[in-house]
Structure 1
Amino acid sequence: MGQRFRGESQHKVDSKGRVSIPSLFRRVLESADPNWEKGKNPELVIVYGDHRNSCLDCYSMEAIAEIDAKIDALPRGSQKRKILQRLFHGQSYPTNVDETGRLVLPAKLREKIDLNGEAFFIANGDSFQIWKPETYEVEEVARTEEWLDDQDEDFDPLMLLDDQAGV
């Protein structure tokens, strides 16, 4: 993957479920969509199946193709393959960014994360997530802060990169 999603942003969601995607995210979606060309709308896949997640996971076409290849490499009929196919194929929503840079989130997806009024976007490298802002604050920010508070005083998160086995 060339470009990566970076940053966070909050945007209004209208009554029809339309929400603007951060402009930097749109550039990454364009670069990671093999069918995109100037004047066309980049595609993405929203995965919503994991009931434990309080967010929508959004993948560029390049990122979802990598996941699909790993699923396809699993033995047919295996439990792992069946579960991953259900989560990433069956419980996903292929869509595209419209001409105005917006995404239309169907009611089912908005209801899954109790989204209304505002949407919070956070980058995840080769994907990004859409959250209800209050849920993100309660679940993710609190979890990260708690974890950091448990580290030694001189802890630097970059140290994790040198200790791949300890992650």
Structure 2
Amino acid sequence: MKLFLSTFVHKVDKKGRVSLPSTFRQVLQHGTMEEFAVVRSFQKPALEGMMMDRMEQLTRVIDGIGVYSQEQQDLAAVLLADSKLMTLDSEGRIILSEELIHHVGITEKAVFVGKGRTFEIWDPETYDGVLKQARQRLSQSNVSLSLGQLNQNVQGVQ
């Protein structure tokens, strides 16, 4: 599976149209579709984009939570009912609605942030601050990654 990687800044026009980075388009095409879902993050001022198979995985997880529990209802409302299905136009652009633009605080530009199986869309200034804080936290922590341990922990996860 190809992954959404790297960071790209693109101009947003007055109609909310913005070009999806070409490497992100390649990931979508590799997945045999140019259709994907975008949801407003409930944890940060960003949009989260993902291929439909990832959205289906989230749906299965939400379905596994107690039916009609408040947590299940909240997650279904925020992640499923509030999601937007996106398709690319002939020029590789998507249209961000006024509602999505307002959530992120985008004015003239948007930054696309690859997160592996997903990607995020941020206001560039906001994301710069978030990235600086993340780098600072990591530099002050003793976090390390062990690929051997990682492989054992994620067996069976796709």
TM over 0.5, yes or no?
yes
In the TM superposition, what are the counterparts of 1:54-73 in structure 2 within 5 Å?
54-73=45-64
Do structure 1's residue 96 and structure 2's residue 83 form an aligned pair? no
Taking only aligned residues, the RMSD between alpha carbons, in angstroms, comes to 1.9
Do structure 1's residue 43 and structure 2's residue 42 form an aligned pair? no
Residue in 2 that maps onto 1:105 = 96
**TM score, norm. by length of structure 2:** 0.86
Of 118, 134, 151, which aligns to 2:141?
151
Alpha-carbon spacing, 1:133–1:91, altered in 2? closer, same or farther (3 Å) = same
How far 1:161 moved relative to its partner? 7.0
Superimposed CA distance per residue, residues 35-89 of structure 1 (whole angstroms, 9 cap, x where no aligned partner): x3xxxxx111110151x41110011111111111111222211122111101111
Counterpart-to-counterpart distance in 1, 2:41 and 2:7 = 23
Counterpart-to-counterpart distance in 2, 1:126 and 1:47 = 14
SS of 1:115 mapped into structure 2:
coil
SS of 2:145 mapped into structure 1:
helix
In the TM superposition, what are the counterparts of 1:22-33 in structure 2 within 5 Å?
22-33=21-32
Superimposed CA distance per residue, residues 86-106 of structure 1 (whole angstroms, 9 cap, x where no aligned partner): 111122111211111001000
Counterpart-to-counterpart distance in 2, 1:151 and 1:69 = 34
SS of 1:14 mapped into structure 2:
coil
Q: Which runs of 5 or more residues in structure 2 are unaligned?
A: 154-158
Superimposed CA distance per residue, residues 4-43 of structure 1 (whole angstroms, 9 cap, x where no aligned partner): 111111100000000000111011122335xx3xxxxx11
How far 1:158 moved relative to its partner? 3.0
Q: How much identity, in percent, do the aligned residues show?
A: 29
Residue pair 2:41, 2:48 contacting (<8 A) in 1 also: no
Counterpart-to-counterpart distance in 2, 1:119 and 1:162 = 36
The residue identity in structure 2 corresponding to 1:143 is Q
Counterpart-to-counterpart distance in 2, 1:87 and 1:161 = 35
Residue in 2 that maps onto 1:10 = 9
76-85 or 103-112, which deviates more: 76-85
Counterpart-to-counterpart distance in 1, 2:145 and 2:89 = 38
Do structure 1's residue 123 and structure 2's residue 119 form an aligned pair? no
Residue in 2 that maps onto 1:87 = 78
SS of 1:158 mapped into structure 2:
coil
The residue identity in structure 1 corresponding to 2:47 is L
Residue in 1 that maps onto 2:156 = none
Residue in 2 that maps onto 1:39 = none
- Name segments (4+ residues, structure 1) moved above 2 Å: 30-33, 157-164
Superimposed CA distance per residue, residues 140-159 of structure 1 (whole angstroms, 9 cap, x where no aligned partner): x122122122135xx6x434
